[in-house]
Structure 1
Amino acid sequence: MNKIVKDFFKSIALLIIVSLLAVWITLYYTPNPLFTIANLIPIEANLTKPDNYLTIEKSTKVERNIVYSEQYPNSLLDIYSPIHSNDKLPVVLFVHGGGFFKGEKEMAKYFGRTISSNGYAFISINYDLVPNATVFDQVKQINDSIQFITDNADEYSLDIDNINLAGSSAGGFLALQLLSSYHNEIYAKKIKIAPVEKIKFNSLLLYSAVYNLSEFQHYDSNFLTSYLLSKIGWGLTGERSWESDSVLGAILNQNNYINKDFPSIFITDGNTNTFTEQATNYSNRLEETGVFVQTLFFNSREEVGHGYQLNMHTSASKKAVKESLNFLERVNK
């Protein structure tokens, strides 16, 4: 019996080794299996309702799963808006997070209703995810949603003179990419963005965004982390040798494309396991350039995590909502 048990465990160990070796060999040719495995791991998004959600829900409506582009498979959006409104509404276009390879528009289902109840059309979009798309495909897809908003403004009562971009985590990076491309023709050509005619973004709101992906080209860590980052970066950019490509690195660093003509920008982040340092550096650069920036950061006495604004029963989220609305009111007059 002991021999049977030993042989069984030897077989299991051999199977595991062979499987790991097969994955390792496959990853030499493509990063896709890594994202397949990553998508099997649930990520807690910490979505909670605000205390007054029943009141908010009664005062708003949502039009779901509207197709905004025929060019990309995952091109659906939801529009949250006040029930009692006869005028065209200023738009908040929200790009969800999820590391570029996870997430969905429903991540903003409570946050979106809350913002819209204050007189906004809050639009939350899906987009194709890595490895089926690169970050450059994703930003082009988001630009398609701007074209959709422009073409369908009358049908959905949207004020295209007041379009406010917004994004959380990876979605913040994509929203910032789009804004940068609208203010820099050279950058727009590099990432192949054709700005929608006559569109000038009113503002940008960034929640726990990443600002500089080039930091991960030479990330100082252990072998396994460095190896995984090399494969993730390959999937994100579509370039196998992305770590050694300085031109690509410059494109992935949004600090390089700050423009004095940027609209007002709202920046917030937590202080635990997030991109606080990148956020503060970017906001400082904006101020130095003369761009109006409103920030919300937290001291060490209160632990506030990544994407905290979606955890809406917390005091930090309540503060973010209040300051976001104050910011939007100021820039949408």
Structure 2
Amino acid sequence: MQNFDIPTMRSQIRASDEQRDAGLTEPDTLEMFKNLSYGPHGVENTFDLYYPKGTNTCLPTIINIHGGGFFYGDKELYRFYTMYLATQGFTVVNFNYRLAPKHHYPAPLEDTNTLMNWLIENVENYYVDLDHLFLVGDSAGAQLAEQYATLTSNSTYAQNFSFPVATVHFKAVALNCGAYFIGQDTPINQDFSYYFGETITPTLEKQFPVEAYITANFPPAFVTTATHDFLKDLAQPLTDLLNEKGVKAHCQLYASPDYSELGHVFHLNQKSDIAKQCNDEEMAFFKDFLA
């Protein structure tokens, strides 16, 4: 994956994603705040926020980290998915972060952390409930969600980073079709040299594999994959590791009722019944942690 054509890949994936969303319309049941700025990096540090109309108190809040192999994706391509989550009774934050190869690791983690600090400082304006925070990510975004949840739940791990980690606690996470176990059996940058760089530094070696730093304080996790997800084989091992650490974790393999192909990040397709089932089951999992 080191020598592929990123501009061509971005164009091809975007065409597929736009076809997936063709004909969808934004629900008229949500309050929407778009293109809010949370950091200094222009459009790459902007976010949208949604919650149901008529809301007059803080709602449990979902932070979504989009996927895209660390080189692709933005909040626009996730708006229908995240808007659906908001219709289920949540405040939802859908944000952009800096992408490779222009920006290298750990830029997305730094941006996620900057967003969290922005929310802490502006919580009273947008019905964000910092006591009931949830984290969602898919593909590369699931890896980032796993890593950021580890940062916020293991202060020893956080000391390996140059930025102070926001003082937040996630009640639960949903990790969809994720790229886990980076650096466990192969060089950290083997598949993502455009993101991690060509040289593995001592600092980088102290930060991976992330799974070595997961503790019992990691949030409860709903881990999903699908029959034709090319990262399918990583989901159950991660779930097993979490359970071994004492974390409540559930792995769900989704399949099409007619046995047709169900691929990577299937849950984003808002025209799909199996995607709706997955998203509804994740929201039900989250609601179990609303005391």
1:135 counterpart residue number: 105
Q: Shift in Å at residue 247 of structure 1?
A: 7.2
Matched, 1:74 2:44: yes
Cα drift, residue 216 of structure 1 = 8.0
Is the Cα–Cα contact under 8 Å of residues 32 and 131 in structure 1 kept in the other structure? Answer: no
The 1:287/1:98 distance shift into structure 2, 3 A limit, reads same
Distance in 1, Cα, partners of 2:104 & 2:231 = 21
Structure 2's unaligned 5+ residue stretches are none
Match of 2:183 in 1: 214
Percent identical pairs in the alignment equals 22
Preserved contact between residue 35 and residue 130 of structure 1 (Cα < 8 Å): no
Once the two structures are superposed, what CA deviation does each residue of 1:90-115 show, in whole Å capped at 9, x if it has no partner?
A: 11000101110000012221111111
Aligned residue identity for 1:309: H
The residue identity in structure 1 corresponding to 2:196 is T
The one-letter amino acid of 1:97's match is G
1:241 aligns with 2:203: no
Cα 1:114–1:121, aligned 2, differ >3 Å: closer, same or farther?
Answer: same
Q: Give the 3 Å change call, closer, same or farther, for CA 168–87 of structure 1 in structure 2.
A: same
Partner deviation per Cα, 1:277-313 (whole Å, 9 max, x = no partner):
1111000111111111122213594532100001122
TM (norm. structure 2) is 0.88
Counterpart among 302, 313, 318 of residue 271 in structure 2: 313
In the alignment, the residues of structure 2 paired with residue 237 and residue 173 of structure 1 have an alpha-carbon distance, to the nearest angstrom, of 14
User: Corresponding residue for 2:280?
Assistant: 322
Change over 3 Å in CA distance of 1:141–1:218 after alignment to 2: closer
Compared with structure 1, are the counterparts of its residues 142 and 249 closer, same or farther at alpha carbon in structure 2 (3 Å cutoff)?
A: same
SS in 2 for 1:322: helix
State how far apart, in whole Å, the 2-side matches of 1:312 and 1:217 are: 36
> What does 1:173-322 align with in structure 2 at a 5 Å threshold?
173-197=143-167, 199-214=168-183, 217=186, 230=190, 233-238=192-197, 240-242=198-200, 248=204, 251-298=207-254, 301=259, 303-322=261-280
Deviation, 1:41, is 3.8
Q: Supply the distance in 1 between the matched residues of 2:22 and 2:177 (Cα, whole angstroms).
A: 19
Amino acid paired to 1:35: I
Residue 13 of structure 1 corresponds to: none
**Contact 1:48–1:310 (CA under 8 A) maintained in structure 2:** no
Unaligned runs of 5+ in 1: 1-30, 220-228
Range 182-191 or range 277-286, more displaced? 182-191
Supply the distance in 1 between the matched residues of 2:160 and 2:170 (Cα, whole angstroms). 20
Contact 1:77 1:123 in 2 (8 A): yes
Q: 1:190 to 1:71 in 2, by over 3 A?
A: farther
Q: Which of these residues, 96, 109, 112, is aligned with residue 66 of structure 2?
A: 96
* Number of equivalenced pairs: 286
For residues 192-247 of structure 1, the C-alpha deviation after alignment (integer angstroms, 9 at most, x for no partner) is: 341223x212111111111122268469xxxxxxxxx85x6332113x234xx787
Shift of 1:315: 2.7
Distance 1:175 1:218, change over 3 A: closer
Structure of larger gyration radius: 1
Give matches, 1:5-154, under 5 Å: 34-43=5-14, 44-45=16-17, 47-48=20-21, 57-70=27-40, 74-154=44-124
Taking a change above 3 Å as real, the CA distance of residues 90 and 249 of structure 1, as seen in their structure-2 partners, is: same
CA RMSD of aligned residues (A): 2.8
**Aligned mates of 1:274, 1:293 — CA distance in 2:** 21
CA contact (8 A) 1:72 1:141 kept: no
Q: The residue matched to 2:28 in structure 1 has which SS?
A: helix
Whose helix fraction is larger, Structure 1's or Structure 2's?
1
After TM superposition, give the deviation of residue 48 of structure 1 in Å. 3.9
1:276 aligned partner, one-letter code: K
Q: Distance in 2 between matches of 1:131 and 1:274?
A: 23
Q: Output the TM-score relative to the length of structure 1.
A: 0.77
User: How far apart, CA to CA, are the structure 2 residues paired with 1:324 and 1:49?
Assistant: 25
Corresponding residue SS for 1:122? strand
How many Å separate the matches in 1 of 2:39 and 2:255?
42
Secondary structure at 1:93 match in 2: strand
SS of aligned partner of 1:214? coil
Q: Residue 162 of structure 1 aligns with which residue?
A: 132
